[in-house]
A and B are shown apart, each in its own frame.
Chain A
Amino acid sequence: MTTSSYDERLPCGVRVADLLAEGVDHEPASDPTHQATCPFCQSTLRRLRQDWARVEALTREPVEIPPGLIMRIMARVRTLSAQVADSVVLGGVSGETRISHVAMSRVIQHLAATAPDVVFASVQLLPHKPAHPRRLSVAIQLVVLFGPAVKPIAQGVRDRVRRRAPRLTGAELTWIDIHISDITDPLH
């Protein structure tokens, strides 16, 4: 078959391209009655299948996994796992950004400490289990002002941290535990 013959129309009027799905994908003939008696269609289908057999031969070629590739991939994943033990790892198109847990703690501590009726806040980050590059849980200890109801203060801190920490850092907070460790009276 010549290189141009796939563009041609057979003497019987059928286009060679129209036989493609039948010859390659084993789809049923669009006009089986015609094909059963048409020497042009039959011979073209034979040649088409013969040419396509070369493609099928390539698909049967064994694909060897390059030596060491799996180990290199696993080493990279292990390195990333180790990194997430003390950092939030944010993947990007042109590189990755790592934010240490120290920096994350400072952001969350600032958010909590500047919430209404909070006098002091301390933060402990709890890495996600299983290890996850972006996810963290956090435990926040608060000292709050005497007077206002304690539960709304805690909820206010939780909402503020949940809303703003991901926007400021890119990390995802799955759990925010709040512990009111003391209440202080500004008059005393």
Chain B
Amino acid sequence: MLGSRADAEDVTQDTFVRAWRSLDRFRAQSALNTWLYRIVTRRCLDALAARRTTEQLDAASTESAEGEPAGIVEQREQLESVKRAIAGLPADQRAALVLREFEGLSYDELADVLGTSVASIKGRLHRARLSVLRTIG
């Protein structure tokens, strides 16, 4: 989501601290994990918005180790190209795609976490998937 391990660690820590502070406001109207996803996604989107465009993200580790089979190297390069394609998405599309494909959230849960309608989520996902496929295809 953030493309940076250090930023991800900061956001994770901040998310749990915020959750601890706001635990009394958790009304169990949604599942605990949906509530946590909402906090962490909000924090990720804030972090992305605050990030300067010139900021260096983690370098992709596509260098091959000596003696590594060509198939493994190619597979790793393919995974890195997918990561780059996802990192190139607008923040709202990236959040929808990551929560759907990596975290397995349903459309209803996505709409709850991202505070929008299911129709809007479907639109975002369609654009995100199309964009990723165009990049890696």
A and B physically associate: yes
Q: Is A1 an interface residue, CB under 8 A from the partner? A: yes
Cβ of B41 to closest chain A Cβ, rounded Å:
16
Interchain CB contact under 8 A, B78 and A54? yes
Known: A20-B126, A91-B21. A1 touches B79 (CB 8 A): no
B4 CB to nearest A CB, Å? 12
Q: Who on chain A is nearest to B125 by CB? A: A25
> Residue A51 contacts which of B5, B75, B136 (CB distance < 8 angstroms)?
B136
Taking CB atoms, residues of chain B closer than 8 Å to A48 are 133
Q: Which residues of B contact A66 (CB under 8 A)?
A: 5, 9
Chain A residue at minimal CB-CB distance from B83: A58
Residues of A within 8 A of B75 (CB): 57
Q: Is A100 an interface residue (CB 8 A)?
A: no
Asked if B24 contacts A132 (CB within 8 A), the reply is yes
A6-B134 contact in complex given A24-B129, A55-B101, C-beta closer than 8 Å: yes
Structural contact, A133 and B21, CB atoms closer than 8 A: yes
Task: Assess A51 versus B133: contact at CB under 8 Å? Given A20-B126, A66-B5.
Answer: yes
Bound-state Cα–Cα, A5 to B137, Å: 9
Once the chains bind, are A91 and B82 in contact (CB under 8 Å)? no
Q: Which residues of B lie under 8 Å from residue A12 when comparing CB positions?
A: none
Prevailing SS type, chain A contact patch: helix
Number of A-B contacts (CB under 8 A): 72
Let me know if B133 and A52 touch, CB within 8 A: yes
Give min CB distance, B96 to chain A, whole Å: 13
Residues of chain B with a CB closer than 8 A to A5's CB:
137
Cβ contacts under 8 Å, B13 to chain A = 69, 72-73, 76
Residue of B nearest to A65 (CB): B12
> Are A17 and B79 interface neighbours, CB within 8 A?
no
Select the residue from A2, A58, A69 with max chain B CB neighbours within 10 A.
Answer: A58
> Does A29 reach chain B (CB closer than 8 Å)?
no
Q: What's the least CB distance linking A25 to chain B, in Å?
A: 8
Collect the chain A residues with CB atoms within 8 Å of residue B5's CB: 66
Does A61 have its Cβ within 8 Å of any Cβ on chain B?
Answer: yes
Q: Which A residues touch B24, using CB under 8 A?
A: 132, 135
Residue A80 is within 8 A (CB to CB) of chain B in the complex: yes
- B18 partner, pick from A1, A57, A72, A91, beta carbons under 8 A: A91
CB of B59 within 8 Å of the partner chain: no
| Residues of A110-149 contacting chain B, CB below 8 A | 132-135
With a cutoff of 8 Å between Cβ atoms, the chain B residues found around residue A52 in the complex are 129, 133
Contact A69 B9 (CB under 8 A): yes
Given A59-B102, A72-B13, CB of A80 within 8 Å of CB of B133 = no
Tell me the B residues contacting A by CB distance below 8 Å: 5, 9, 12-13, 16-18, 20-21, 24, 75, 78-79, 81-83, 101-102, 126, 129-130, 132-137
22 contacts between A and B (CB under 8 A): A3-B135, A6-B133, A20-B133, A24-B129, A51-B133, A51-B136, A54-B79, A54-B81, A54-B136, A56-B101, A57-B79, A58-B82, A66-B9, A69-B9, A69-B13, A73-B12, A73-B16, A73-B17, A77-B16, A77-B17, A80-B17, A91-B21
